[in-house]
Amino acid sequence: MTVARGVLLHPIAMGLLQQSLFVLLLGSCLHPAAAFPKGCYPSEEEGLKTFRCSNAQLTEVPRDIPNDTNKLYLDFNQIPFLPRDAFRDLPLLLELDLSHNAIARIESGAFQGLAEHLHSLDLSSNRLVSVSKDAFSNLKAKVNLSNNPWLCDCRLQELIRAVELAADSSGGIVCDSSTQEEHVGKAFLQVIADTDFCNVYKKTTDIAMLVTMFGWFAMVISYLVYYVRQNQEDARRHLEYLKSLPSKQRQSEESSTISTVV
């Protein structure tokens, strides 16, 4: 009876063991996908490895992106800024879509490591007001900067000259504010055709420096004039005082003054 029971239990135990191994193997296969943020998934499009996180309610750039990704979609999220080295582990990235986010700040070095391969960068429909050209240093990608609330000034002019704009996107770079009120609402490339913001800024800076120097010079001259007049006034009062003294006392005072001077 005991032997028969052991014979019956052995196949059952083997079956349970096989099921456990199958679950473990399945879990290990699914583990990388489970590490992805909610709403993100990998795929393959036209032979390129793609990672989509469109409309995934992200508030930062995900960290668990496969490092062999060629196309990355992070559009329609709430990402507020791009930190330094945000994409440093994606050396094969060709296209990066960051459109329709809340990006208002891009740190220098945010695209570090993408210069060699990246050929398309979409930053349209964000909250960019002013960005240093250094943030795009050595980047060869065609950049879409349209539909942002840009401040039209020398900094934007330097940025536009430092990057290659995506085709048909330049008209969407419009002055939401400007150092010159008459430029508000106009396309930036149309404005800089007639206005050199950096030259205007240089002239303004030079004038400010001249005004400051003139102000200091005027203060020094005013002090010298005051000092001379004060001494003259003191000397006049002393002479009047000497004249008011009796002759003998005046001579004594004058002799005392001369001896003091000597």
Q: Mind listing the pLDDT tens digit for each residue in 210-243? A: 545 556 556 767 666 676 777 777 777 767 666 6
Rounded Cα distance, 53 and 78, in Å: 12
Q: How many helices (H) and strands (E) does the chain have?
A: 5, 11
pLDDT band at 201 (very low <50, low <70, confident <90, very high): very low
pLDDT of residue 35: 74
Rg of the chain's alpha carbons, rounded to an integer?
A: 39
User: Which residues, listed in sequence order, are joined to residue 120 by a DSSP beta bridge?
Assistant: 95, 142
Quick check: 157 and 134 in contact, CB under 8 A?
Answer: no
- Helix (H, G, I), strand (E, B), or coil: what is residue 209? helix
Rounded Cα distance, 145 and 96, in Å: 13
- Helix (H, G, I), strand (E, B), or coil: what is residue 117? coil
pLDDT score of 259 more than 60? no
Distance of CA 35 to the CA centre of its chain: 30
pLDDT score of 134 more than 60? yes
Q: State pLDDT tens for residues 136-171.
A: 988 999 999 999 999 999 999 999 999 999 999 999
Q: What is the mean pLDDT of residues 86-109?
A: 96
Distance of CA 253 to the CA centre of its chain: 75
pLDDT of residue 116: 82
Non-local (6+) Cβ contacts of 179 within 8 A are: 151, 152, 153, 197, 200, 201
Average pLDDT value for the chain: 80
Rounded Cα distance, 171 and 132, in Å: 20
Q: What is the residue type of 101?
A: N
pLDDT of residue 231: 76
Rounded Cα distance, 34 and 133, in Å: 38
Q: Which of 76-90, 116-130, 195-209 has the lowest mean pLDDT?
A: 195-209
For the domain spanning 34-194, the CATH number is 3.80.10.10
Q: What residues does each domain of the chain span?
A: 34-194, 196-231
pLDDT of residue 241: 65
- Helix (H, G, I), strand (E, B), or coil: what is residue 250? helix
DSSP-H helix ranges across 53-114: none
First to last CA, the chain: 139
